Amino acid sequence: MNTPPVYQQASFLLSAAKLDQLPTDEGIEVAFVGRSNAGKSTVLNRITGQKRLARTSKTPGRTQLINVFQLDADRRLIDLPGYGYAKAPLTLKKQWQYTLTRYLQTRQCLRGLVLLMDIRHPLKGSDQTMLQWAIESQLSTHILLNKADKLKRMQITKTLKAVNEYIAPYSNLISVQCFSALKHSGEDELYAVLNEWFKSE
Ligand code: GDP
């Protein structure tokens, strides 16, 4: 589908190492998070229709930062540091965890979280921790099972069912869908969720 104009407008605003470097806590933010390699940069590029938008996040030294993309004066997409990268030193992992938790727990303008997973490896320990934080903070979360093109239809259905069962007790807060950044599938469903979150009251 065509990229809705507001997402096409996305532009890199800043990278923040600490929460106090973020824009004033006003307007609406939707954050993207997930294990490294789940496809977060590819998905951000895909939904904004920009090939290189999230390349910024891949710049060495910026992978541990919170990257902020502005849609308009009031709305921002937030690219949170990827987690679960096995090679990262423990101190770095602790620091990411601290920044992530603090952001998720304190950011007032955070309206929703898109939690990316590789559909072939859903609900890893770190994903479950992330969901736990979201539940504790009563933060609406949409799970994106990315790379659906890597699985056969039956496997997709099975995985979606398993994840749906896992989140069933929190269905008021957590939702899930399949997605393929490569094949452009699942875009309508994702835009519907984002549009709802970005709607001003
Ligand atoms: P990040 O670390 O989460 O930002 O992940 P990247 O966006 O860099 O993607 C990691 C790898 O997965 C890259 O080689 C992407 O081309 C690939 N990838 C991302 N999305 C998809 C998808 O939907 N399908 C497939 N097959 N590969 C994907």
* Ligand 1 binding pocket mutation candidate from 33, 37, 185 (most atoms within 8 A of CB): 37
What is the 45 CA–ligand 1 centroid distance (Å)? Answer: 11
pLDDT reported for residue 158: 98
Which atom of ligand 1 is found nearest the CA of 42?
7
How many angstroms separate the alpha carbon of residue 39 from the centre of ligand 1?
4
- Cα(42)–Cα(71) distance, rounded to whole angstroms? 18
Give the model confidence (pLDDT) of 68-123 as tens digits.
999 999 999 999 988 776 666 777 777 777 888 899 989 999 999 999 999 999 99
**DSSP H helices in the chain:** 5-8, 40-48, 55-58, 90-106, 125-136, 153-167, 187-198
Q: Whose CA is nearest to atom 17 of ligand 1?
A: 39
pTM: 0.94
Tell me the average pLDDT of the chain: 90
Q: Which of 8-17, 140-149, 153-162 has the lowest mean pLDDT?
A: 8-17
Distance of alpha carbon 186 from alpha carbon 134, whole angstroms: 23
Tell me how far apart the alpha carbons of residues 141 and 176 are, in angstroms, rounded to a whole number: 8
Give 179 or 6, the one with higher predicted confidence.
179
> Each residue of 53-77: pLDDT tens digit?
877 556 655 567 899 999 999 999 9
Torsion of CA 91, 138, 27, 55, to 10 degrees: 40
- Residue 37 alpha carbon to ligand 1 centre in Å: 6
Interval between CA 24 and ligand 1 midpoint (Å): 31
